[in-house]
Structure 1
Amino acid sequence: MSSNNNIAYKFLSLFSSSEDEEFHFRTFPEQKGGGYAKNFVHKLDELNKDISKWSSQAIKRDGTPEKYPTHYKSYNEKKKHGFYFVVNFGGSTDDKIKKIRAFYIDVDFAKEKHSVNSEGEAQKLAGELKETGRYKKVQVNRTKSGNHFVTARFTKKEVLLAKNEFLDKHSEAFKDALIVETYSGFHIYWLVSNCSISLFAKIEEYLIFKFKSDPQVKNLSRVLRVPEFVHQKYEEPFQIRVLQWTERRFTVDEFTSELNVNFQWVEEQKKKEKVLQTKGYGKKSFKEVIDHTGLERTVTETEFKGKNADIEFVYPKPTVKKVTFSEAIQEIKSRPISDFVSKPDMSINPGESKTRVCCPFHNDTNPSAEVFTSKRHQQVFYCHSCQVGTKDAIGLYMIKTHSSFRNTVKRLAAMIGIKVVKTEWEQDLKEIYDDNREFLEQDLELMYPNLYYYISQYGRITYLRYLNDKGSVNILSEEFSYEEKNVYFASMSFIKKELNKKSVKTVHRTVCLLLLLGFFKRVPEEFIPERFRKNAEIKRLDIKLELKEQGPLGEKRAEFVRNINFYIVQNWADLAFEIEQMAFLLREKGFSLNKHMNKIGLTKLMGEEIANRVFQDDRRVNQKFDRLEEKIKEIVDTEISEVGYCRVDDVLSRQIRYQITESDGKKKIKKATFKEKEDVITRSLSTILEDKYIVKTVQSKEKKKLFGYTKNDTKKIKVILNK
């Protein structure tokens, strides 16, 4: 096959910012028994030559080079090894990727697979498929466990029709994409700049759902084929070629806008297709119409079995030792999964690092799940088909039985002869959580009317029950405690989902109110356990990076991302009187969630100490706010002393100037905007009124005239008067 000498180099240069930038390459055998995979590294400028001269020594697993060089083009054509490159920059594994070069998808129209219940059904289906004339090859297969399935590969004509249909359907989305054609379909790239690692994964997931592309092609270190090399997976060799060139490099904002990236839509699609593994659901087989033919084909997708999963756990053993809950967790995580699972066999042979098994969570006919040892020396289960993944036996048991975390640990511990016992500290905590449940069942309206006033509205008692129960199942060890109570984290977005609330903002305000009242307490950063703090910091940075990718507004929001909060649950019965007193004060001072549930509003209403109880950060009421508040207070005092009242709308309409001291010590006169004046009056009205004044709302025209309001309208006005 002929090749343009510079096509491959030109293609790779689109992904690079300089000639010195490194690219990682891999070769894989296209046919069985074709040898082993090899790794290579080149700087871009080393490839600016005829591809027949591309060569180097492969890098072995120990990091040393092979003795003799590999000539890539010859190796590809004669040895039938596919030649691939790592799209993103940094290395050949996910943990080494440092920069995102492009978003990408891999679409394959060449083959399909059908699961069946028997050999007879498999033979019948194979015959029906052959009769259509649309398939190059149809084959009945049998797994080691005896299950049958049918694989079918379309003719070149059918593949070509599907390719054309796909490009026509998505022409608008692909107008600025780099399109590479393979035998089976396409590799499609959108070159991008300044995309965070965390956002990349979400966008890849969106693209997979949008274009129904290969769900496995989404990892950071994904390798895809290099143009001008030959695709030899099937009988007919096919030279990889660039179908459409582009030099456009998207910003993340441009890409998400032009391709209508919608993460919420992805979540909705997941729910529709029932892939939420924690609920035990999954994908199912369905008929799909092929647009260009009008014919139907069966698409077989994963179906989770949930509680009916084909997995069995070992029976409990006689108790040989007693340990605490946290010690039991460590013991379970240190054991191989096969110590707990009797079926299927998940044991790893001596000297090997992994084993493949038929996944028990879907109708798996060809072993698609792996059990392997992680970098933390813990065994991990992961299915490449249905994507069920757990870090240890704990996760497997929870998916199978839907048991709580605490009950799961107890039952798994019993399987290895361990009994989980409560320490005195754990027992005391359990009593607190039990007492709190009983507290909510009392006649709170009669006993604590002000407390009841706040928690009886908008389902706030549901929040209390949920957060109390969450704390009760997160008791680890005294090592992870503050003020002798267990520390735990509750994400606002997770609470929103669990309690089916409309917005994170509503959840945040409610949690802040419960903190203000005294039901919970935030743990100061210096007392957060080190392990918790590190995980929280990683999460916080991920959130900031995601926001920054959303343009100017996102960057502004990113500045205000605070540290992740950790909580302890108080003993509500013991503190009921203090909580009632706080509720009384809030009502007396006219507390409003909308006006005062922020650092400035709460500081002005209740004082700095109480505001810090809810908002544990370094924010202070700024000088501009204080100076403007003082000026408005002077106006109110003057007006009331002279005419006996002060209209709020009159204050807002006045030109107010106030003086501030800048960082260099110089004095500066500022002119207040309407919004600044309104903000001060909204948040600091109680401070302005002190104990001398009250606010009265007036609507009738006659009464408004008494206070100097002459406009002929129905607008309500607020008037400040002496008590």
Structure 2
Amino acid sequence: MNLGINYENREALGITDFAFLSLFKKENEKVYFRLIQEEKHIAKNFDCLLTLDEELEYPLMQKVIQKYQRQGYGVYFVVNSGGQKTDSIKRVNAHFVDMDFGKVPKLINGELFKDSKGKIVYEYRNKEEIEEYKIAFLKKLENFKLIPNAIVETKNGFHVYWLLDPDKPESLDVFTPLQEKLIDYFSAFEERKEHADSSVKDINRVLRLINYKHLKNPKDPFTIKCIYLNTEIKYTQHDIASDIGCNIIELINDAKSLELKPAATRAKTSNLQKGNHKVHSTPVLQYEDLIPFLKQQDLISYLGIDAKSNANFKCIFHNDNNPSAVIKNGGGYYKYFCNSPTCICHNAGKGMDIIDIVKIRENCDTSTAIRELIECFHIKLKDSTWINKQNKRFENNIMLLSQLYERKDEFPNLNRIIRFGYPLLLDILEIGKKNIVNRFFNANGESIFFFSNRYLAAKRNKSVVNTNKYINLFCTLGLLNKIPYSHVNKNLRATAIQISKDNSQNGISFYTIPDYNEAFKTADERASIMLQYKFSIMGMSKKYLENCFGEEFANKIYHVNVKDTEKSKSIRDAIEVFILQQIKTYGYFTKDMVMDYKLKVDNHYIRRGAKEYEFRKVLPDVIQKYDLIYVKANKNINQKLGIDTKKYLLIQNNLLDE
């Protein structure tokens, strides 16, 4: 085939971003965008109807996108239809490959080169090298059986699309398997297989939108452009599979069998019984003495096996027809040896101590194995060195917090945003300081502690709702880290739950405190962003954080994911449209307008209470999405709008600048 592309002079076609999106979406269908701050990796999700009618949707979204572009955000869209998340996708619109010639893993003597921490080291190509690879790829593409529908040039490569026929049903389940085959196909023709990005296979994948800039390096922007377009033909997944040499039926069957495949089970050795060893007393140990103590425990007794020290027996870790195992005691330290090189515990003939055995039996890491043994031998562990270090951290943080106001010139935004929450944060630091246990109750080297938000609220005579908002504020700023239950030692969880029951307190949560010497700078930067987004403690919510820092960040702060109903979404969509209509008609919007309006959704009138609830949820999103501002009317605003009111108005931000 002849694509008709001038390889050396690839000019952008005169296609608008609206027309480009229309290749994938139906008229009046929602388009889902992801705007990503290229340098800071902050993501924001937006959506709008793909329509130009009355400038209520896409034209307004273009203004929002342009605003964020000026702030360094790259512009992406979800290629398939339905939503932002995997389980929300309802229709496959296209298959695609992302060719990236900008960087590849570094090879030395044909082997991947890794740094001292075991991370792959990458090589970055210059513009001239990337240009050579781009031209070479387009020439190879001429020989591909399936003519692409669109080729989009990015800074370091291309996005190549094959559009699916919307009138023919396609399989959601086969999308990722077929993507993988397509990527493998193009990898095989490249000098380096990494040129075809293997990660571009998820059904909710976002790709860059044309006519907007690639801004990872703000000093060297690149405008994403469509260089080839062919709308005369559409494909099926069968067409694509056939022309890359795979069977679509097999891919569908493989996808179904993968869903039915049970989760991997633990090793057979997890069924080993723990020995009925006797513990005559409760040893009290310093941490430095713990490991030697564990390795001195009699493995024969611990494993509960019928054997004698230094005498061979049948290995309990594999089907052993001839006695090939032995437990040796060397200088008071026990080790388990197996002479069979196929045995899981052969360990190159070095043998395994009690910690190694627990790691195999429980399929766990070293830290978890040691905690298991501490419980098994009823050890009371004293960890003076670690406890003292953590104690000093808390004391230092308390001192730094008390000096924060004196450093308001250095951290102006942080001082402004937590000034009313300062006493609450001080209480949290004191709770953490009093509850340092030992190094096994830590996360990332920091002591884990817990408290009930209700207890903390009562301590300060504050409402639980307000207390929760401040705790989430501290976590957002990075002054407090919320730890998921799954990351907490089970003994500590059990202790916390029991204390909670004893004190009739629900809602125990686990936390760690970072070093404030390092945290204050990041906290001030985040506070600056939050203030730009009109921060108030009453407006602190998951949606507000999504607007500030993106959905992924908000999910780390708000661990409980409240499921949204389709009805709630429909009501919020209707309120959003109503708000835009009022602003277009009158230049402003007040809450009374929607409360007094008979809002109808799916042929049902919405109750006032439901409107009130959904309006509070949609307001922060509408403000950010359409660059609006919610302010109390003053003489200047009334004069510009030709009204006379003291109510809060939702107006366009630029009205205040005029």
- Which bin holds the TM-score, normalised by the shorter protein? 0.3 to 0.5
Largest Rg, 1 or 2: 1
TM-score normalized by the length of structure 1 = 0.34
Higher relative contact order (CA 8 A, sep 6+): 2
